[in-house]
């Protein structure tokens, strides 16, 4: 399941909803991405996430389908926010459930790595040095790249 929304989310409720009534799930891995207060030595006042409505959902669904095909997953959830966020705010939640904890961990990491390089979001930071668009990181490309080797 994927969701793209302006509103905040409650990780505990999301995880609970995903596993409610299920007694066949052995492990749930989750990742929460948060807005940091510093970037490149400058203080961040706020961050605005722009996205490509329609394409975002399509890409996230494709990434979810890819993960389900690669690993034995009982459930997957991706929630990604857009709009203006403050330091400490939640940006993204990825949850994977599996009877195998290695699968849950690998799939969760794959999903966050891939969405960082494929989901059409762009971050505009309001910093103490003025506004600026966050640049894509080589390290994110490399992180995504490792999933294409196997």
Partner 1 sequence: MKLLYFAWLRQKIGTAEETLDPPGSIATVAQLIDWLKTRGPNYVEALTNTKLVRVAVNREYVPYDHRLKPGDEVGLFPPVTGG
Q: Which stretch binds partner 1 (CB under 8 A): 12-20, 38-46, 64-72, 110-118?
A: 110-118
In degrees to the nearest 10, what's the CA dihedral of 40, 127, 141, 56? 170
d(CA 74, CA 101): 11
Options 3, 68, 70, 109; binder of a second copy; rule CB under 8 A: 109
Q: Does 28 bind a second copy (CB under 8 A)?
A: yes
Of residues 54 and 86, the one with the C-beta less far from a second copy: 86
- C-alpha to C-alpha distance for 131 and 42, rounded to whole angstroms: 11
By CB under 8 A, is residue 46 in contact with partner 1?
A: no
Radius of gyration of the chain (CA): 16
Instruction: Give the residue carrying structure tokens 């409720």.
Output: 13
Residue 121 structure tokens: 């979001």
The least CB distance from residue 138 to partner 1, in Å, is 10
Which residues would be at the binding site for partner 1 (CB under 8 A)?
33, 49-52, 54-55, 58-59, 80, 91-92, 112, 115-124, 133-137, 140
């Amino acid at each position: 399941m994927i969701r793209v929304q302006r509103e905040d989310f409650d990780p505990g409720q999301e995880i609970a909803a995903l596993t409610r009534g299920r007694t066949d799930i052995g492990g749930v891995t989750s990742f929460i991405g948060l807005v940091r207060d510093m970037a490149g030595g400058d203080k961040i006042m706020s961050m605005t996430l722009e996205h490509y409505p329609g394409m975002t959902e399509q890409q996230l669904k494709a990434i979810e389908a890819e993960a389900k095909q690669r690993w034995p997953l009982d459930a997957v959830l991706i929630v990604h926010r857009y709009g203006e966020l403050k330091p400490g705010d939640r940006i993204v939640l990825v949850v994977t459930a599996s009877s195998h904890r290695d699968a849950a961990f690998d799939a969760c990491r794959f999903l966050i790595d891939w969405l960082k390089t494929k989901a059409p979001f762009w971050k505009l930071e309001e910093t103490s040095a003025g506004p600026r668009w966050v640049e894509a990181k080589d390290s994110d490309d490399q992180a995504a790249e490792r999933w294409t080797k196997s």
